[in-house]
Amino acid sequence: MTQLPKKFVLELCESKDETNRFSASDDRTPEQLIRVLDPATGNIWGFVVVDDTRRGPGLGGIRMAPDVTLWEVRRLARAMTLKNSAANLPFGGGKAGIVCDPVEMARNPGMKRDLIGIFAEVLFSVEQYIPAPDMGTNEKDIQHIYEHYSERLGTHQHMRGGASRLPDKGGIPIDEWGLTAHSLFAAVRTVEELEPDFKLKGAQVVIQGYGNVGSVTASKLSDVGVVITGVSDIHGALWHPHGLNVEELNSVRREPGGISNYSGQVEKRFGLDQIDWLLETPCDILIPAARPDAITARNADRIQCRKIFQGANTPSNKMTEYYLQNRRNIVSYSDFIVNVGGVMGCAVELKMTMEQSYREQVLLQGEDGKIYMERLITNTVSSNIRTLMSRLSDQKDGDRIFREEAQKLAQERLDHPDDIWL
Ligand code: NAD
């Protein structure tokens, strides 16, 4: 069994001096790159990256995974900068990673609590980072960090100790309300409004990753007449050209074995060795909502959908998306524009913690703030997609792709931190 250190220490990582380079890249050097170490052994236990604080402190999740690297945390922190900026939130980008096995931690809640406790203690000195949940961490962990900081600060009214806390303690239940799925749904609806030959009724949709994001997206889309023809989870994939029963999928997804317990009609079942073949099925909309790098050069030629809406973070990359849009006529709507609902929930929660009058305004709209949240997400996503599609259609013989235009928009907003949409 894993032995936890008594405490952690932080070590700043040297970032390379980029001034001698011949060309600039999209990625600026992050403001802070930090390793988290056990001082007794020197073993690395995690990473914290504060990418950019021009709009505010870096807000982003803590990922728990055995193989999380500084590079992965850095890439995700950058994505948070773009996400928070594009949504005109008063936050920058940040992310943290803890190197450990989340399955072992789930089996030993006491050990996980201790680990989160010592991580919170060392994180306190990183003033420009606000933690939130990510893979392997949850609202309970963030609540623990928040309580720890409240004790140190002598008040509960602070933004330091995290967002997406427990709902009964003032947190916004991001997954229970399906806020990220709501942003994906808003994106799909907006594209339908903009494109006369793209109709949701009867459209075929394939979703990789039938978890919190994927399952709620499936429900919302099937409510407006979409046919969910394919889904996958960590146990396998299912495909049926006439549609899968979303209600039954939702009832089995949390059982041991997940969607492999589905008893409805299917034409194909893919095992783990073929699980990614699901991505290649013909459909109108493909939604990657599981792991990074689902769609890359290795399968770009086999993808057969009309549009991709990126539920997962970094499920593809710029070069693949360039090829898909300009050679295959498949537009991929970027993660940091369309999966923004979760972080918007975090931002609203933080503001509600700090401002009583804002809290009242949110709650007044009903269902404990859910209605306010959904409206804000719909308006933000819809406005951004309209702006981006209009800029793309204005380019004369250009070949800029959706992601490039979206990055430009996020960059512009980094330079206008006073423009806030909350
Ligand atoms: P989750 O853990 O609830 O669900 C993930 C699902 O993906 C599970 O069903 C899992 O079995 C499945 N999965 C894992 N590996 C797979 C694979 N190789 N092939 C097919 N399925 C696989 O997670 P979630 O909260 O739904 O998040 C999904 C993705 O969306 C993640 O990339 C996450 O970073 C991103 N995201 C989530 C939120 C949020 O609010 N939850 C916000 C923004 C982005």
Q: Is the pLDDT of residue 233 over 90?
A: yes
Regarding the beta carbon of 181 and ligand 1, being less than 6 Å apart is answered: no
Q: Which residues contact 56 (CB under 8 A, 6 or more apart)?
A: 84, 89, 90, 91, 92, 417
Residue count of the chain: 422
pLDDT band at 26 (very low <50, low <70, confident <90, very high): low
Distance 289 CA to ligand 1 centre (A): 5
The residues that bridge with 238 in the sheet, in sequence order, are 231, 269
- Produce one character per residue of 162-191: b if its CB has 16 or more CB atoms within 10 Å, e if not: bbbbebeeebbbbbebbbbbbbbbbbbbbb
Q: Is 25 a residue whose pLDDT tops 80?
A: no
Q: With a 6 A CB cut-off, is 65 part of the ligand 1 pocket?
A: no
Among 388, 387, 361, smallest CA distance to 373 is for 361
- Please say if the pLDDT value at position 19 is more than 90: no
Dist. CA 419 → ligand 1 center (Å): 31
Instruction: Kindly report the protein residue whose alpha carbon is nearest to atom 2 of ligand 1.
Output: 211
Tell whether domain 9-17+26-168 is in CATH 3.40.640.10.
no
The encoded tokens of residue 25 equal 């890249």
Q: Which of 6, 7, 95, 220 is catalytic?
A: 95
284 CB under 6 A from ligand 1? no
**In angstroms, what is the span from residue 291 Cα to ligand 1's centroid?**
6
Establish whether residue 171 lines the binding site of ligand 1, counting it when its CB lies within 6 angstroms of any ligand atom: no
Closest ligand 1 atom, residue 214 Cα: 26
pLDDT in tens, 191-219: 999 999 999 999 999 999 999 999 999 99
27 pLDDT above the threshold of 70: no
Q: Which atom of ligand 1 is nearest to the CA of 343?
A: 42
Reported as a single tens digit per residue, the pLDDT across 294-346 is 999 999 999 999 999 999 999 999 999 999 999 999 999 999 999 999 999 99
pTM for the model: 0.96
Q: Whose CA is nearest to atom 25 of ligand 1?
A: 212
What is the per-residue pLDDT for 20? 74
Atom from ligand 1 closest to the CA of residue 211: 4
Residue closest via CA to ligand 1's atom 35 equals 312
What CA–CA distance (Å, rounded) separates 354 from 359? 9
- Written as one letter, the residue type at 391 is R
Domain segments of the chain as ranges: 9-17+26-168
> 150-172 pLDDT, tens per residue?
999 999 999 998 899 999 999 99
Q: Is the CB of 164 under 6 A from ligand 1?
A: no
Under DSSP, is residue 321 helix (H, G, I), strand (E, B) or coil?
A: helix
Compute the distance from residue 20 Cα to the ligand 1 centre, in Å: 39
Look at residue 21 and tell me whether its pLDDT is greater than 80: no
pLDDT for the residue 24: 63
* 204 Cβ closer than 6 Å to some ligand 1 atom: no
> Mean of the pLDDT values across residues 137-147?
96
Ligand 1 atom 16: residue of nearest CA? 234
Is 178 touching ligand 1 by the criterion CB < 6 Å? no
Query: What residue ranges in 199-265 does DSSP mark as E strands?
Result: 204-208, 227-233, 236-239
pLDDT in tens, 111-120: 999 999 999 9
266 lines ligand 1 (CB under 6 A): no
Q: 214 alpha carbon to ligand 1 midpoint, in Å?
A: 7
DSSP for 30-86 reads PSEEEEEE-TTT--EEEEEEEEE-SSSSEEEEEEEETT--HHHHHHHHHHHHHHHHH
Told to judge if 95 belongs to the known catalytic residues of this protein, a careful annotator would answer yes
Q: Would you say the CB of residue 229 lies under 6 angstroms from ligand 1?
A: no
Ligand 1 and 173: CB distance under 6 A: no
The 10s digit of each residue's pLDDT in 60-112 is 999 999 999 999 999 999 999 999 999 999 999 999 999 999 889 989 999 99
Residue of 233, 255, 299, 316 with the most ligand 1 atoms within 8 Å of its CB, for mutation: 233
